[in-house]
Amino acid sequence: MATPTTEGKKFDEGKTRYDLIPFHALEEITKVLTYRAEKYDDNDWRHVNPWQPRYLRAALGHIMDWARGEVNDQESGLHHLAHAACSIMFLIERSRTQPGQIFASEMFKQQTKGGPGGISGLFGGALGGSFVNPQK
């Protein structure tokens, strides 16, 4: 018969460490997901097409707004980086569930050629300036 112990055992080595997720950021992301579900529908982002350019554009747009000093999105009142994080999560999820649909590499190929499909074209001039082609 095994001797009872006062301390239980649980082998966690090699398991995903969900305790490393920063909870304030997770809460902000969840607020954006809730806002989005109320505005559109639960998980409607799974049906947006073409998904790559639209969510890349959304993520970069929110990052640029935040970088310019606007902390919260004017429409939702929620943190721009939480909006960007949602768009990036959508890109990750759909790239895992729908592999083989590559858009971003084509966009960056055009950017290095200085064409309208580059990062400036992606935003339609909304950045208030133009990106310099490092190849020139």
**What does the pLDDT profile of the chain (136 residues) look like in tens digits?**
666 667 888 888 899 999 999 999 999 999 999 999 999 999 999 999 888 889 999 999 999 999 999 999 999 999 999 999 999 999 999 999 987 666 655 666 666 665 555 555 554 444 443 333 333 3
Q: pLDDT at position 43, please?
A: 95
Residue with tokens 């239980």: 8
The angle subtended at Cα 113 by Cα 108 and Cα 118, nearest 5°, is 40
Residue in 54, 55, 63 with CA at minimum distance from that of residue 127: 63
Asked if residue 31 is part of any domain, the answer here is yes
Sign, CA dihedral 36-28-62-45, equals: negative
Asked if residue 121 is part of any domain, the answer here is no
SS3 state of residue 98: coil
Integer Cα distance of 17 and 7 in angstroms = 22
Asked if residue 68 is part of any domain, the answer here is yes
Instruction: Show the domain range for 38.
Output: 23-99
Q: pLDDT at position 103, please?
A: 61
pTM exceeds 0.75, yes or no = no
SS3 state of residue 79: strand
Q: How many CB atoms lie within 10 A of CB 90?
A: 23
Distance of CA 135 to the CA centre of its chain: 28
Integer Cα distance of 30 and 87 in angstroms = 12
Please count the structural domains in the chain.
1
